Structure 1
Amino acid sequence: MGQIDLDFLPLQVINVGANDKRSFDRGDKGRLVKACLRPGMSMANLAIKAGVNANQLRCWIEQYKAKERGTADTKGATQEARAVFVPMMEFPGGDDRVEPGQDAMPVTTLAALPVRLSARWPSDAGMGLEC
């Protein structure tokens, strides 16, 4: 792996607000984030060299990734906009505990039958819904 040019570190503070909030050069922040995204780079080590908190650097990285995905909100925080489709299945016998490999039928084929939905956690706590 080639050598990374880190001569811009520590980050230069360009402004300090009334609440002691520091502002950094955008170009240098971007270079730091891109350096963190390279394989084998230690984000914590780069945060120390940059003179910023590792949690702040992690936020900058998430904002950068969100901007790349086009999912940044107006405050710059990321929105996890994931649409996930999980098909519901009805298991013969209505047993809460389903054995691996047990056959299931899609709920759409059982529309006229009563539906029972249950979930059980490893602690053996659970909940159910019957319609």
Structure 2
Amino acid sequence: MTLDILKGSGGLRAVKVLSNGKRRFDPVEKDRLIDAAMKPGVSVARLALAHGVNANQLRNWVKLRRDRQAQGGLTVVAGQETSAFVPVVAVLPISRQPDMPARPSSAGMRVIASLPNGVRLELEDVDERALSAMIEVLGRCNVPAG
């Protein structure tokens, strides 16, 4: 029986029906139906309905086929084998303006901060960047008076 897959010329031929009602389909016709369902723009639900198969069953067959192809590392696209790996292109980093030369920090700089909740913070030999970051963080804190 030749099966015009996309036009739905009839149901998918069952080669065996089990005692619980499950059907086993002709593997060649089933493969052609899965191939047709994997084509872009094809409605899997319409294709399944036209061939007497549950749409979820056909989706499951398609998923299993894709998983099997992904496991193999190669997929077949229009008769060509393509690698499952994407080529990586190395790009040079964007050139940036050189950082401003660091000003010499004051040796022996000491900062003491007493917070309203009684916490006392002492910093010694701190560079200006770290001190600036610390002040910014402390400024964002809403510390209740203790």
The TM-score by the shorter chain falls in which range? Answer: 0.3 to 0.5
TM-score by length of 2: 0.43
Q: Computing the radius of gyration over CA atoms, which structure comes out larger, 1 or 2?
A: 2
TM-score by length of 1: 0.47
